[in-house]
Amino acid sequence: MSKVTFALQGITVRVDAGASLLDAAIQAGILVETPCDGTGTCGKCRAKASSATGLIAGVYANDLLSDAERAAGWVLACQTKVIGDVTVEVETSVDDGLKIISDGHELAVKIRPWIRKVFQTELLTTQVYGGAKLLATEPSDTTQFGYGLSVDIGTTTLVTSLIDLANGQELASASSLNPQARQAQDVLSRIKLGSQPDGLRQLRNDLMTEINRQIGEATAAAGVIPRHIYEAVFSGNTTMLHLATGTNPASLGKYPYTPSLSGGCHLPAEIVGLAISQHGLVYLPPIMSAYVGADITSGILATALAHEGGVVLFVDIGTNGEMVLAVNGTLVATSTAAGPAFEGMNIACGMRANRGAIERVSLTERRIDVQTIGEGEPIGLCGSGLLDAVGELAATRGVDANGRFQFKDESWPWSKQWDVLDGKPIFRIAGPVYLSQKDIRQVQLAKAAVRAGIELLLKSNDLQASQVDRVLIAGSFGFHLRTESLIHLGLLPPEFENRVHFVGNTSKSGGRAFLLDYHTRDEMMSVTQGVRVLELANDPAFEKTFLRSISF
Amino acid sequence: MPETLDTLAQSLSDAVVNMDEERTRELAIAVVDLGLNPLAAIERGLVDGMNRAGKLFETEEYFIPELLLCSDAMYAGLEVLRPHLPNASEVKKHKIVIGVVEGDTHDIGKNLVKILLDAAGYEVVDLGRDIEPKRFVETAIREGARVIALSTLMTTTMDAMADVVRLLAEGNLRDRFKVIVGGGPISQAFADRIGADGYAASAPAAVKLVQRLITEPA
């Protein structure tokens, strides 16, 4: 056994000789960004060793650290083996100042909860009903204590809100990073890990432990006793609901990509492992397909998409871009793999939306104006800042239509920002933060995936972009995106200008609506059964449309 | 100025790099009309142009759409010149079996590799996508291929690559074929772990890898 001390966190763990430094960090409970899942291709899991003894640095990641960095003791944690006692510095991606959009399009919801309480005056007991079924009988009159949870299980973030079922008021909410990211960063890696019994158990336990911690936090803040919570709605993508319920997700990860859960049902909270009333229930909203999940059903509910007249497009921009097109209430949905660029991953200076992340960039009068989260010194670019920066370059022709840096054009007002790093051109934004040509390529691929999805949804209804009346953008970016940047990028067609509305976290707001009004459940069952899901993998026009959408 | 093979080949190469399909076709017709050597025009013109495009892709000047437009131009030229190749000049090419592994349907990366291998003078047998391991092996045997090239974009399907290597080993066929792997979640470490012969991070790198592996003693 070797001792690994993480100096910044003051944690020491013992690991078998030969374990990777990343394994040691995971064991220490330190959340390290590993977008490539420890394959040595992303360069995000940097660690600095105080001395070279005790570690063998891997040879695979040669291109990701410069010689100077290597000489200074920097290694990639995933490619470095521990062979003796060592002290290292690893930056944690803690959720310090993390911005998680907890607000979503608030829909006027009728208060008709599934849970009802009836006080029996002669017996002095309170009966708790879930629908018509008696769930529990409690001593004395507890009718004034009836609470529910809306749990938004995102791949990246978890948001639990505690809601008073009597009046729909949110009493408290807690948010944090999804701890499953410690084991596997992206959805596919989690499917892979969850396909093994041990992996599934671990992913599920990690998730439930964190949700239960959030419940503890929220109930403490609101002065609520957890056993007075009788129902929780789990809103999340199809993979997250599989993992939360301990359902083998293997079939989601392989063509023809089929889910093993269909949702629209209750599970006992005790079996799910949720620390609420032992008679409590967990409701899973209907799931449409492997990549159009309950979170999108919540989105359809929150935005009343099925009741909208005209042509409305709902887009949830994230690692997977899910979208639903409503044409006078008839819905077609699809999803497209955008990759992690929108979350600032696989980007040279990319980072999550933490303090110091540039979230807004504008090129004005030979100047670059940036806005950082928490007004900290700029240390990286989060998704919205990245899209702004690339959008501005595209709009001012700092990149050409093909996405190539135009660094030879000295008449370009911001030409002083061009620089060279490791022999390659870069665009300096602020402080140490820059964009590389490869970053532009990553954004091009991501935005082309979303745009191709939009084009094919429209095409399947014989519609043009100009015929879309309203565009609703949901997702982790929430209100931070700017329509003009999305249009400059070509992520959205120019016809959408002035028609875009940002609706925030509709997975959460829809989850709340499911919780408060049980009539929405039957309604959404029939709505989702009527949704046609387009599988882009089977659309012969996808490749061509995608490739065409790569340009600016 | 009279067109010579040299000037035409240079123009063909430029037309491919400039993504000019129409001009490439016109130049190829000129080669035929002047009775010039079509094989030389292919090698020193079209293939040279495609190689230059591959280099521009590697240095991040060109991106996927440009590379595909260059290949459209190359194929337009080939369509004109190929029927004029004397039969005897058909050199025996090394064969490569390529495909996206079982469970995955993302094939744009595989298509890029196929185009560049094609341009580099290999005969590419493209199985398509969602291909089960034994089809790679059977096809490689039937076609007498030297290389099996496996692609995937999905973490969930990358283990199917190991299945191909294992099937070869079980059939005592491992030494007959070079197995190369690539795609988003793949790395050199993964290639080493499953016992593949090589990994390439990009399409042009895949061509170099094949060239190196094929010249290596078996």
Read off the pTM: 0.85
Mean pLDDT (whole number) for A328-336: 96
CB atoms near residue B95 (< 10 Å): 16
Among chain A residues, CA nearest to B157: A254
- Give the whole-angstrom CA distance, residue B108 versus residue A176: 36
Q: Which helix (H) or strand (E) holds A222?
A: helix A197-222
How many contacts (CB atoms, under 8 Å) link A and B?
77
Q: Do B189 and A60 touch (CB under 8 A)?
A: yes
- Give the whole-angstrom CA distance, residue B82 versus residue B73: 14
Q: Do A37 and B65 touch (CB under 8 A)?
A: no
In sequence order, which residues have a C-beta less than 8 Å from that of residue A462 and are 6 or more positions away?
A: none
- A246 to each of A199, A271, B103, B173, how far by Cα in Å? 10, 10, 22, 40
The dihedrals phi and psi of A277, each to the nearest 5 degrees, come to -50, 140
pLDDT at A238 over 90: yes
Residue B193, chain A, CB below 8 Å: the answer is no
Q: Do A255 and B63 touch (CB under 8 A)?
A: no
Q: Do B60 and A192 touch (CB under 8 A)?
A: no
Residue A444, chain B, CB below 8 Å: the answer is yes
Q: What single letter denotes the amino acid at residue B26?
A: E
Contacts with B100 from chain A: Cβ below 8 Å: none
* Residue that is written with structure tokens 């359902």 in the block: A247
Domains and CATH numbers, chain B: 5-89 (1.10.1240.10), 95-215 (3.40.50.280)
- Give the whole-angstrom CA distance, residue B2 versus residue A298: 71
Residue A243, chain B, CB below 8 Å: the answer is no
Domain A2-90 and domain A115-296 have a common topology? no
Mean pLDDT (whole number) for A351-364: 91
Q: Do B155 and A404 touch (CB under 8 A)?
A: no
Q: Do B130 and A444 touch (CB under 8 A)?
A: no
pLDDT, position A98: 38
Q: Do A39 and B130 touch (CB under 8 A)?
A: no
- Measured between CA atoms, how close is A368 to chain B, in angstroms? 25
Q: What percent of chain A is modeled with pLDDT above 90?
A: 70
Residue A397, chain B, CB below 8 Å: the answer is no
- Give the whole-angstrom CA distance, residue A106 versus residue A191: 32
In chain A, where are the structural domains located? 2-90, 115-296, 298-340+443-548, 342-442
Q: Do A191 and B156 touch (CB under 8 A)?
A: yes
Domain A298-340+443-548 of CATH type 3.40.710.10: no
Q: Do A402 and B106 touch (CB under 8 A)?
A: no
Q: Do A253 and B155 touch (CB under 8 A)?
A: yes
pLDDT, position A68: 74
Task: Report pLDDT digits (tens) over A531-542.
Answer: 999 999 889 999
Task: Report pLDDT digits (tens) over A210-237.
Answer: 999 999 999 999 999 999 999 999 999 9
Contacts with B105 from chain A: Cβ below 8 Å: 255, 537-538
Residue B128, chain A, CB below 8 Å: the answer is no
Mean pLDDT (whole number) for A404-416: 94
* String of DSSP letters for A481-550: --HHHHHHHTSS-GGGTT-EEEEE-HHHHHHHHHHHBTHHHHHHHHHHHTPEEP-GGG-TTHHHHHHHTT
Q: Do A254 and B156 touch (CB under 8 A)?
A: yes
Q: Using 50, 70 and 90 to split pLDDT, how confident is the model at A102?
A: very low
Least CB–CB distance from B63: residue in A186, A195, A550: A550
Span A2-90 CATH architecture: Roll (3.10)
Least CB–CB distance from B189: residue in A39, A195, A403: A39
Least CB–CB distance from A40: residue in B107, B111, B189: B189
* String of DSSP letters for A128-152: EEETTEEEEEEES--TT--EEEEEE
Contacts with B163 from chain A: Cβ below 8 Å: none
The B residues from 146 to 185 touching A (CB cutoff 8 Å) are 153-157, 184-185
Quick one: how many helices (H) and strands (E) in chain A?
13, 28
Greatest mean pLDDT range, A24-33, A68-77, A497-506: A497-506
Among chain A residues, CA nearest to B152: A254
**pLDDT tens, residue order, chain B (218 aa):** 567 999 999 999 999 999 999 999 999 999 999 999 999 999 999 999 999 999 999 988 999 999 999 999 999 999 999 999 877 555 678 999 999 999 999 999 999 999 999 999 999 999 999 999 999 999 999 999 999 999 999 999 999 999 999 999 999 999 999 999 999 999 999 999 999 999 999 999 999 999 999 987 65
* String of DSSP letters for A408-459: T-TTSTTGGGEEEETTEEEEEEETTEEEEHHHHHHHHHHHHHHHHHHHHHHH
pLDDT at A295 over 50: yes
Q: Which of B58, B60, B59, B52 is nearest to B19 (CA)?
A: B52
- Give the whole-angstrom CA distance, residue A46 versus residue A58: 12
Contacts with B102 from chain A: Cβ below 8 Å: 254
Three-class SS string for chain B?
Answer: CCCCHHHHHHHHHHHHHCCCHHHHHHHHHHHHHCCCCHHHHHHHHHHHHHHHHHHHHHCCCCCHHHHHHHHHHHHHHHHHHHHHCCHHHCCCCCEEEEEEECCCCCCHHHHHHHHHHHHCCCEEEECCCCECHHHHHHHHHHHCCCEEEEECCCHHHCHHHHHHHHHHHHCCCHHHCEEEEECCCCCHHHHHHHCCCEECCCHHHHHHHHHHHHHCCC
Q: Using 50, 70 and 90 to split pLDDT, how confident is the model at A209?
A: very high
- Give the whole-angstrom CA distance, residue A533 versus residue A526: 14
Class of domain A115-296: alpha beta
Least CB–CB distance from A551: residue in B60, B65, B190: B65
ipTM of model: 0.88
Least CB–CB distance from B156: residue in A41, A253, A438: A253
